[in-house]
């Protein structure tokens, strides 16, 4: 008997499955608050609107529930969950740890061409701010951080960051109502430190950028209380956020 294990290599170039597409659409709608917390979702209705069968919708619902974005209740409507401040701050902790190490790894690879490229990305962000295009700015913001991961030689880390920061994103969308300009200024500041090849300053500025959410989350919750989990003790939330 042969001990050889027979395996077939997966097709890594395959197109996304219907479930992947449904998941991606719902995910973007949830984190972008087009489907705000408390929205009731029906498998049948979503399947009808997207022109797909119910199975990929059911699978997408399950994936979103595993990430904490949907509450699936047997014999009752599935509901978009409210925002948990604890989950947001946990996501911020993980993201900060990863991105500070990414910055350290990226700086030795910084060239004038890299600075020019990141500068052009920031100019597009400036245009999005001027146009009050929050969805566009959010995508450009992600692209900026993703590119730094690529410059560091660790593009795979962006997948970890993206998956872990998902709970931050709903709060980020709310903050962009007034905070896109601040995020843009942070990016400009970070790029200046990268251009100077000043590791300590680049790390400090990145940490400050990613920590903004902890400083504003209590005010965002006060302004948009209907989006947040009312069962989280307010005193504990404020203490966790440093408020």
Query: 3-class secondary structure for the chain?
Result: CCCCCCCCCCCCCCCCCHHHHHHHHHHHHHHCCCCCCCCEECHHHHHHHHCCCHHHHHHHHHHHHHCCCEECCCCCCEEECCECHHHHHHHHHHHHHHHHHHHHHHHHHCCHHHHHHHHHHHHHHHHHHHCCCHHHHHHHHHHHHHHHHHHHCCCHHHHHHHHHCHHHHHHHHHHHHHHHHHHHHHHHHHHHHHHCCCHHHHHHHHHHHHHHHHHHHHHHHHHCHHHECCCCCHHHHHHHCCC
Give the pTM: 0.82
* Torsion sign over Cα 25, 77, 79, 55: negative
Strand partners, 70: 80
**Residues whose CB is less than 8 angstroms from the CB of residue 223 and which lie 6 or more positions away in sequence, other chains included:** 174
Which residues does the chain have with pLDDT short of 70?
Answer: 1-15, 233-243
CATH 1.10.10.10 placement within the chain: 18-80
pLDDT of residue 176: 79
- 184 within 8 A of 125, measured Cβ to Cβ: yes
**Residues whose CB is less than 8 angstroms from the CB of residue 136 and which lie 6 or more positions away in sequence, other chains included:** 128
Direct distance between the N- and C-terminal alpha carbons of the chain, in angstroms, rounded to an integer: 67
pLDDT of residue 243: 46
Architecture of domain 85-240 in CATH? Up-down Bundle (1.20)
Q: Specify burial of residue 197 (Cβ count, 10 A radius: 0-12, 13-18, 19+).
A: exposed
CATH no. of 18-80: 1.10.10.10
Distance of alpha carbon 132 from alpha carbon 55, whole angstroms: 38
pLDDT of residue 1: 46
pLDDT of residue 125: 97
The pLDDT tens digits for 5-53 are: 655 555 555 667 899 999 999 998 998 899 999 999 999 999 999 999 9
CATH 1.20.120.530 placement within the chain: 85-240
The CA-atom distances, in angstroms, between 229 and each of 39, 154, 173, 226 are: 14, 35, 17, 8
């Amino acid at each position: 008997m042969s001990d050889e294990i027979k395996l077939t290599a997966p097709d890594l170039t395959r197109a996304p499955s219907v479930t992947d597409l449904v998941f991606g659409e719902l995910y973007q709608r949830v984190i972008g608050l087009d489907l705000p917390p408390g929205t009731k979702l029906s498998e049948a209705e979503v399947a009808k609107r997207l022109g797909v069968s119910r199975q990929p919708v059911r699978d997408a619902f399950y994936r979103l529930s595993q990430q904490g974005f949907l509450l699936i209740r047997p014999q009752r409507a599935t509901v978009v969950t409210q925002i948990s401040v604890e989950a947001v701050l946990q996501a911020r902790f993980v993201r900060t740890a990863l991105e500070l190490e990414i910055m350290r790894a990226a700086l030795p690879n910084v060239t004038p061409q890299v600075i020019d490229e990141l500068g052009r990305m920031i100019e597009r962000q400036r245009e999005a701010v001027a146009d009050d295009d929050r969805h566009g700015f959010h995508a450009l913001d992600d692209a900026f951080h993703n590119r730094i991961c690529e410059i560091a030689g660790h593009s795979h880390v962006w997948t970890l960051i993206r998956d872990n920061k998902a709970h931050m994103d709903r709060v980020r969308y709310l903050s962009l109502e007034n905070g896109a300009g601040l995020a843009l200024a942070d990016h400009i500041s970070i790029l200046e430190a990268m251009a100077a090849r000043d590791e300590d300053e680049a790390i400090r500025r990145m940490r400050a950028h990613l920590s903004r959410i902890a400083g504003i989350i209590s005010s965002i919750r006060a302004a948009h209380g209907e989006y947040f989990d009312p069962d989280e003790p307010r005193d504990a939330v404020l203490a966790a956020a440093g408020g």
